[in-house]
């Protein structure tokens, strides 16, 4: 089973959107790491104009990648994996609380099946 080493985000929603994502990062759980049993890094925001595609690395070639997206019009693209994000650009280990952060639910992306996400209205 080939796993995508990068993930593409394509915006066909008709609006500008912002994407946060989460990927496996063993530095978050390695000996001396801040998250003993949560090897995940959360990052945001990818700013994506309508019709634009951007890529993000999947550095550990892990099968699972997670995402959350929001725009000015309509509900967010989300899921059940709760993480903390902030309004400003951020990157942190999943278990670390962000001062002034808020919780969102990220959706699963199985990179053994899909190479990315296309956002539609």
Q: How confident is the model at residue 32 (pLDDT cuts 50, 70, 90)?
A: low
Of 10, 1, 38, nearest to 23 by C-alpha is 38
How far is residue 29 CA from its own chain's centroid?
Answer: 18
Mean pLDDT of the chain: 91
Asked if residue 114 has pLDDT above 60, the reply is yes
Residues composing the chain? 121
Please count the other Cβ atoms lying within 10 Å of the Cβ belonging to residue 26.
Answer: 13
- Residue spans of the domains in the chain: they are 6-111
- For residues 82 and 66, the answer to whether their CB atoms sit within 8 Å is no
């Amino acid at each position: 089973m080939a796993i995508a080493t990068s993930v593409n985000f394509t915006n066909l929603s008709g609006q500008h959107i912002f994407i946060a994502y989460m990927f496996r990062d063993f530095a978050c759980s390695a000996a001396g790491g801040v998250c003993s049993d949560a090897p995940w890094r959360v990052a945001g925001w990818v700013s994506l104009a309508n019709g634009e595609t951007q890529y993000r690395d999947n550095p550990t070639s892990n099968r699972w990648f997670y995402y959350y997206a929001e725009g000015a019009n309509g509900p967010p693209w989300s899921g059940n994996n709760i993480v903390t994000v902030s309004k400003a650009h951020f990157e942190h280990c999943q278990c670390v609380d962000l001062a002034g952060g808020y919780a969102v639910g990220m959706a699963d992306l199985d990179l053994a099946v899909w190479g990315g996400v296309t956002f539609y209205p």
